[in-house]
Chains A and B, each alone.
Chain A
């Protein structure tokens, strides 16, 4: 290992791998990937279900198969990977300090850094559910690791809170392995997961989905013995008299993902309160020069195909920075208008070349709408959409010429 690299990538999951390949293919060969686990691939290794790669490769792969494609590309280019290496700190001078059993604590200097640390699950603690702390309560992703990597079934009688995709996938997975999933409860009046997962993970196995319901009590002292589920009103408050009781030994939480930005914060890189990831420009460069971010550490994606796409933007951006240095920016902000929960990138650099895809989410389920991007009174771009839901990311393509003509900040909004 050397004291410095042109590009150091933090995280060897789908984002880190795709970013490395893109950076290399853009002309920067001196790339190092730092990965915390004993193998690359990140969360894909435990996502043994299929459906990955449909958008990008037009074929349906399992998580490990999707990861293997990129691992092969990384290997073919001879890109250096350090495994079992945890990054401890990062600063705006692009010095990365890490620790591993092989090298101890060490610091590498980077021409550019790409943040690709992914996200973590929101925990029970964030939800304030009454009850003691019995065994049998897991985040859906932890249960997924137990079943798919370790080969243990964490319980037999299951209730799942939250209808995010991991919860839906685990409902099917535990059913196939012999557990009984009694219910999936969702606080919102709609599911946060993909429609295909409602069909193939719940409906296929007759698992009931209770919308506008939440767990109001977890029973059991040593081990979970049951839960109380209540319907909630439009303010998400439990309605008295609607309580249902389920006997169960396991509760899974699938209640959202949070970008893992401890390192980003420690380097004082500004984050967006909406995405909980860094504020970035088109090339996925953060407000800290030469530090880029991509994948779930930047915004929580629905599909790994989009993670790869975004990582390639960051990889190319970082390579450009290493080869040509910084260029003066002329930037405008992208604001969240009516019914838009976030737009990424949050900043547009008018001096940057190339078209840009805006990624965004709506704040609630909507039908027969128009997405309108305006700059003051001027409509830059608009597109009709039949159905839009918060669980599915939307995109709009903004041409280079349209960006160059912007006279100020732009706002994306929904018009009904």
Chain B
């Protein structure tokens, strides 16, 4: 089967063509870099995205957070439920792990410094 994708790895937005056989990618064309190839291969099997959102800290401020690896796209809304229940306390620093292995081996980490 032939799939046409727009790569989301970087702002170039390459149009990539992927041919799959039995659900696995057998050829990738149109990508400009190895990241695009990896993106396309995953995208036709199990699309993944980095989740970025905020959590309210105990002092009321909003802390930006993200998953440090992409997680399954289909799980994003469900993960929001878990994330919105978190209320960390300052100080928090970029990279601090808030939830270990929130999904697929990805940790939820702080994406800003809050003293």
Q: Which residues in B have their C-beta under 8 angstroms from that of A198?
A: 6
With the chains together, A200 CA to B76 CA distance in Å?
12
Q: Which residue of B lies closest to A387 (CB)?
A: B15
Interface centre among A63, A176, A198 (most CB of B within 10 A): A176
Of the residues B10, B47, B49, B50, contact of A54 by C-beta under 8 Å: B10
Would you call A62 and B8 a contact (CB within 8 A)? Answer: no
Would you call A50 and B94 a contact (CB within 8 A)? Answer: no
B19-27, B52-60, B97-105 - the one binding chain A: B52-60
A327 within 8 A of B: no
Q: Which residues in A have their C-beta under 8 angstroms from that of B73?
A: 204
With the chains together, A60 CA to B11 CA distance in Å?
11
Would you call B11 and A51 a contact (CB within 8 A)? Answer: yes
Known: A65-B94, A196-B7. A50 touches B66 (CB 8 A): yes
A366 within 8 A of B: no
Interface centre among B9, B52, B66, B76 (most CB of A within 10 A): B52
**Interface residue total, chain A, C-beta cutoff 8 A:** 32
**Prevailing SS type, chain A contact patch:** helix
Q: Which residues in B have their C-beta under 8 angstroms from that of A303?
A: 11
With the chains together, A352 CA to B54 CA distance in Å?
47
With the chains together, A64 CA to B52 CA distance in Å?
12
Q: Which residues in B have their C-beta under 8 angstroms from that of A239?
A: none
B64 within 8 A of A: yes
A177 within 8 A of B: yes
Would you call A196 and B113 a contact (CB within 8 A)? Answer: no
Distance between A179 CB and nearest chain B CB, rounded to angstroms: 12
A49 within 8 A of B: yes
With the chains together, A195 CA to B12 CA distance in Å?
8
Interface centre among A49, A62, A199, A200 (most CB of B within 10 A): A62
In chain B between 56 and 101, which residues have their CB closer than 8 angstroms to a CB of chain A? Answer: 56, 60, 62, 64, 66, 73, 76-77, 80, 94
Distance between A72 CB and nearest chain B CB, rounded to angstroms: 10
Would you call A64 and B112 a contact (CB within 8 A)? Answer: yes
A392 within 8 A of B: yes
Known: A62-B66, A204-B49. A48 touches B54 (CB 8 A): yes
Known: A62-B64, A64-B111, A68-B112. A151 touches B10 (CB 8 A): no
A84 within 8 A of B: no
Would you call A64 and B80 a contact (CB within 8 A)? Answer: no
Would you call A62 and B13 a contact (CB within 8 A)? Answer: no
Would you call B94 and A200 a contact (CB within 8 A)? Answer: no
With the chains together, A173 CA to B6 CA distance in Å?
20
Would you call A65 and B10 a contact (CB within 8 A)? Answer: no
Q: Which residues in A have their C-beta under 8 angstroms from that of B80?
A: 176-178
With the chains together, A87 CA to B65 CA distance in Å?
33
Q: Which residues in B have their C-beta under 8 angstroms from that of A200?
A: 8, 49
A383 within 8 A of B: no
A–B Cβ pairs within 8 angstroms, 22 of them: A45-B112, A48-B111, A49-B52, A62-B111, A64-B64, A64-B94, A65-B112, A68-B94, A147-B54, A148-B62, A151-B54, A151-B56, A151-B62, A173-B53, A176-B53, A176-B77, A194-B11, A195-B13, A196-B7, A204-B47, A204-B49, A204-B73
In the A-B complex, the 4 residue pairs with the closest CB atoms: A195-B13, A64-B112, A48-B64, A196-B8
Given A48-B66, A51-B10, A204-B47, 10 new contacts (CB under 8 A): A48-B52, A48-B112, A60-B50, A62-B112, A64-B113, A68-B112, A151-B54, A151-B56, A195-B13, A200-B8
